[in-house]
Structure 1
Amino acid sequence: MAKPIARKTSRGADRMETTLNNKVLTEIWGADQGVGLRVKQAALVVLGIAILAVAAKIKVPMWPVPITMGTFAVLSIGAAYGARLGLVTILGYMIVGAIGFDVFAGSSAEKFGLTYMMGGTGGYLVGYVLATFALGLLARRGWDRSFVWMALAMLIGNVLIYVPGLIWLGQLYGWDQPILQWGLTPFLIGDALKLVLAAVILPAVWSFVGKART
């Protein structure tokens, strides 16, 4: 009697592993079809926009400049939500900011909405959209389940943020200006720490999910 039970348990674990293999984190709980799924997705979009807005305003003391948690939230939401839902969320965040709500890191009562978005930060906001979509695609392939692959995904995401950001700065202020000193080098240490943080947290959540379901 022991052998059939052991084989049944093994097949069940295999089925569970297969089911989870192509999912992102937000798909492993709650409704997965019908009205329930749509309600869950709408709630996740609202929650994601709120998280992005709050994270953008969190400033952590760091040398040589303080860092915000905006990029960490952008990339983590991209990985946790997947490409499509992540894209809807980040575009919703951009729309909220364009309307004039103070949801960006450097926006204020004096400078907000499209005025702020078309300034020096504009290229980085474009990069946010690209990075969110890319992290969602990579997470769908399972890159968010190990430290090394998640760290690589975060590195790719940061590149996708910085490239349009620096190009935007160069076009806006001129390439004779110290573009790298303005928009890249002061933030590298902080971004490296955020990369490590995400590379630890997301695989840890997957590990917890796997243990909870076995």
Structure 2
Amino acid sequence: MSDTIQQPTLRTAFGPRGLTMSILMVVAGSALMTLAAKVQVPFFPVPMTMQVLVALLIGAAYGPRLAAVTIGAYLAQGAAGLPVFAGTPEKGIGLAYMAGPTGGYLLGFLLAAITTGWLAERGGDRGPFRLALTGLSGIAAIYVPGLLWLGTLIGWDQPVLVYGLWPFVPAEILKLALFVVIVHLGTGALRRR
């Protein structure tokens, strides 16, 4: 027997889960992503949704595999025409919406949840500094495909960073801070149990 005690994390708090629990977690996570897309928080210079924060939290709590299934289910709902994305149905629905300017960011949610979950499994959810790096990696996983897709659509002669990154930086800093606090407090509470 080993004397090593594994520290609890948000991901391990769920314990061994069966198929029913995993399905419930996927449904709850995709519903939370939808809610996060629909609630706009007034912010400067642009209003913000909380999808980035929720994608990061799902990754940290669920681990990379279940997080991938959860965000994949959310994207599949949107592709099927359900109005789960920000601005739907007003700005379109289904694959046409996903092929628009936000399509790369939508793919980025999947990559962010996987990245965050993978890093959390490897100790990236231990302490504020590691959490900040984990969250920042997840945010980068959203913006890289988002900016690449946006540049492909509008042309690289356009100021892609001006349209697709800089207006969102203040909100992403706030969401990163919230991610660190929520996961740090959550794992701290689990350690005290």
Both structures adopt the same fold (TM-score exceeding 0.5): yes
Measure the CA separation in 2 of the matches of 1:179 and 1:45: 33
Aligned length: 193
Matched residue type, 1:91:
G
Q: Could you say which structure has the larger radius of gyration?
A: 1
Select the structure that is richer in helix: 1
How far the C-alpha of 1:39 sits from its partner, in A, is: 1.1
- Structure 1 runs (4+) deviating above 3 angstroms are none
Measure the CA separation in 1 of the matches of 2:83 and 2:139: 23
Measure the CA separation in 1 of the matches of 2:140 and 2:90: 30
Other-structure match for 1:195 = 176
Other-structure match for 1:25 = 10
How far the C-alpha of 1:26 sits from its partner, in A, is: 4.0
Measure the CA separation in 2 of the matches of 1:111 and 1:129: 21
Measure the CA separation in 1 of the matches of 2:65 and 2:37: 22
| Residue pairs, 1:108-127, within 5 angstroms | 108-109=89-90, 111-127=92-108
- Structure 1 unaligned segments of length 5 or more: list them: 1-10
Which of 102, 115, 124 does residue 83 from structure 2 map onto? 102
Matched residue type, 2:177:
V
Which of 118, 121, 134 does residue 153 from structure 1 map onto? 134
Matched residue type, 1:29:
F
Residue 93 (structure 1) aligned with residue 78 (structure 2): no
Identity of aligned pairs, percent? 45
Other-structure match for 1:6 = none
Residue 170 (structure 1) aligned with residue 155 (structure 2): no
Other-structure match for 1:38 = 19
Query: CA offsets per residue over residues 130-155 of structure 1, 9 Å max, x none?
Result: 11111010110121131111111111
Residue 211 (structure 1) aligned with residue 192 (structure 2): yes
Residue 47 (structure 1) aligned with residue 47 (structure 2): no
User: Higher relative contact order at CA 8 Å, sep ≥6: structure 1 or structure 2?
Assistant: 2
Measure the CA separation in 1 of the matches of 2:95 and 2:154: 18
Measure the CA separation in 1 of the matches of 2:133 and 2:88: 30
How far the C-alpha of 1:107 sits from its partner, in A, is: 2.2
Query: CA offsets per residue over residues 80-110 of structure 1, 9 Å max, x none?
Result: 1000000000100000011111111132245
Say what the alpha-carbon RMSD is for the aligned residues.
Answer: 1.8
Does the aligned pair in 2 maintain the 1:64–1:186 contact within 8 Å?
yes
Measure the CA separation in 2 of the matches of 1:121 and 1:111: 12
Measure the CA separation in 1 of the matches of 2:157 and 2:87: 24
Matched residue type, 1:191:
E
Measure the CA separation in 1 of the matches of 2:20 and 2:157: 50
Matched residue type, 1:175:
W
Other structure's SS at 1:67 match: coil
Matched residue type, 1:188:
V
The TM-score with structure 2 as length reference comes to 0.94
